[in-house]
Each structure stands twice: as structure tokens, then as C-alpha cells.
């Protein structure tokens, strides 16, 4: 093929016309390898076909978009910035904690005035009551967005402390009201409650917050709650004489926790 390829043939070739004989295709491609002029005309033909195809596609897209109804914007009940303070998985655990306190309150009110009543179940459970919520403040097993949160610049102990504060703000008033109804002073359980919360945060940097919280709760139930119910005596750890020791323990744990605040950013 010495002459240039006709314009019509180039157009059919650019469009991928299956009706072109294989030997003709071979001859055209051989010529295109050697002829810059025909390659340029082929490029022009291809660009024209491509632009025509693109224009047709846009016409169909515009028609489809015009016919479609606008999507309804659904507002999330929890803004993204609130993830610094609370996660959706925290809510059911807080509800569970409140229900446990109410059950303990019901038990105390039911046995009140029946002779030698056992120690207040509200007082016995109060030190570890926030741990259910604290366990969910920083865990990848329950929070589906945990990996995204860990990757943010605000991840770490600061975020854990904010979420823990939310737990305490919800749980402590409930405990205070329940304790008032059974005649128990907050002085008996508030400092142990803060000490256990700080202890869970400190141990959580080593073993993970859920394990630390559940471990401390089980330890308290085994060593204090169980024996107190069996002996019907309030343990020494929940008397006012033990408050200075609980306060000192809270301060020591806080001093250990704060210098290594970067550890939570590394936990998964």
C-alpha cells in the first residue's frame, strides 16, 4: 500500500469496524507504521469519534440525573466531632450500668427494715460501676471506627480521658441518688470509684482497656463483694477510715499514667 489510506477507510478502522477484511487490516497497520501523515489523520479521526461518544454519554447522564429524585440527606444523630467524647457503642453499656445500679437499689430497698440487713449493694458495687463504660472507651473490638480514630492526630490518652469523663458524668449522679435513697454517704464510695477508674486507665495501656476494666471488676467482686454479702459486714475498704488510702492511690496512679500518655495512641 503505497498511497495514503482513504479517509473513509481510516474512519472505519478507528471505529473498529468488524467488516474490514483481515488482510486489509494488516495492510493498513503496516502502512500506518511507516506513514506519519496517515497516523496523524488516524489520530484526528479517533479524537473525533471519542469526542462524539463522550458527548453522547454526557447527554444520557444529564437526562438520567434530571429524571432522578434528589437524595434525602440523613442527618447523623451523633456528629463526627463528638467521637472525641463518646462513641455509639458506649450508650448501651451506660444503660446497662444504670440498670445494674437500679437493681442494686431495688435490692437494698427490699431488704431495708428486715432486721440485720446485709451491707448496701449500691455501696458495694459503686467503686466498679463505671468500669463497664470505661471498658468501651478505647477498644477496637466494639468500636467499628476505632482504626480511623487511632489514625487521627487527637488520638491517645486525651481522647480516652474525655470519654471516661462522659462515663463518670453519667454514672456518678446515678450512684449519688441511689446512695441517698439507701442512706449511704458518697464519702464511702466516691474515692474508691475514682481510684478504680484511674487504675483501669493505667493498666489499660499495658493489657488493653477492656481487659483492665473487667479484671479489676472481677477482682473486686471476688475479694470484697462476695465476702461482704456472706458475712453481712461492710468491708474496711469502704469505711471512711480508708478514704486517705484511696486518695493516695488515685494520686499515685495518676502520676504513673500521665507521663506515659502516648501509650494509648499505639494500642489497637
Residue 260 has pLDDT above 90, yes or no: no
Q: Is the pLDDT of residue 182 over 70?
A: yes
Q: Is the pLDDT of residue 100 over 60?
A: yes
Mean pLDDT across the chain: 76
**What are the pLDDT digits (tens) for 219-238?**
999 999 989 888 888 888 88
* Segment 115-138, tens digit of pLDDT: 556 788 899 999 999 988 888 876
| Residue of higher predicted confidence among 21 and 112 | 21
**At 55, which helix (H) or strand (E)?**
helix 36-67
**38: alpha, beta or left? (left if phi > 0; alpha if psi -120 to 50):** alpha
pTM: 0.60
pLDDT for 216 equals: 92
Amino acid 76: pLDDT = 47
| Residue found under cell 492526630 | 153
What pLDDT shows up at residue 221? 92
Q: Pick the more confident residue, 181 or 266.
A: 181
Mean pLDDT of 185-200: 87
C-alpha 153: how far from chain center = 15
148 close to 155: Cβ distance less than 8 angstroms: no
Decide if 1 contacts 27 (C-beta within 8 A): yes
Amino acid at each position: 500500500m503505497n498511497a495514503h489510506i482513504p479517509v473513509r477507510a481510516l474512519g472505519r478502522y478507528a471505529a473498529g469496524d468488524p467488516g474490514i477484511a483481515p488482510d486489509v487490516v494488516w495492510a493498513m497497520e503496516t502502512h500506518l507504521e511507516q506513514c506519519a501523515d496517515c497516523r496523524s489523520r488516524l489520530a484526528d479521526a479517533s479524537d473525533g469519534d471519542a469526542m462524539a461518544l463522550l458527548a453522547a454519554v454526557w447527554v444520557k447522564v444529564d437526562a438520567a440525573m434530571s429524571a432522578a429524585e434528589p437524595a434525602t440527606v440523613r442527618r447523623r444523630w451523633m456528629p463526627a466531632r463528638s467521637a472525641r467524647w463518646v462513641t455509639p457503642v458506649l450508650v448501651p453499656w451506660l444503660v446497662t450500668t444504670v440498670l445494674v445500679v437500679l437493681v442494686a437499689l431495688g435490692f437494698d430497698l427490699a431488704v431495708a427494715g428486715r432486721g440485720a440487713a446485709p451491707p448496701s449493694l449500691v455501696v458495694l458495687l459503686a467503686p466498679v460501676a463505671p468500669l463497664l463504660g470505661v471498658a468501651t472507651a478505647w477498644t477496637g473490638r466494639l468500636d467499628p471506627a476505632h482504626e480511623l480514630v487511632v489514625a487521627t492526630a487527637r488520638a491517645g490518652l486525651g481522647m480516652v480521658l474525655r470519654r471516661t469523663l462522659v462515663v463518670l458524668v453519667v454514672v456518678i449522679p446515678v450512684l449519688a441518688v441511689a446512695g441517698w435513697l439507701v442512706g449511704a454517704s458518697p464519702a464511702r464510695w466516691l474515692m474508691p470509684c475514682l481510684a478504680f477508674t484511674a487504675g483501669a486507665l493505667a493498666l489499660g495501656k499495658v493489657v488493653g482497656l477492656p481487659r483492665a476494666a473487667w479484671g479489676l471488676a472481677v477482682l473486686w467482686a471476688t475479694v470484697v463483694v462476695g465476702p461482704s454479702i456472706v458475712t453481712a459486714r461492710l468491708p474496711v475498704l469502704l469505711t471512711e477510715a480508708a478514704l486517705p488510702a484511696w486518695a493516695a492511690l488515685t494520686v499515685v496512679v495518676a502520676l504513673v499514667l500521665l507521663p506515659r500518655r502516648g501509650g494509648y495512641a499505639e494500642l489497637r
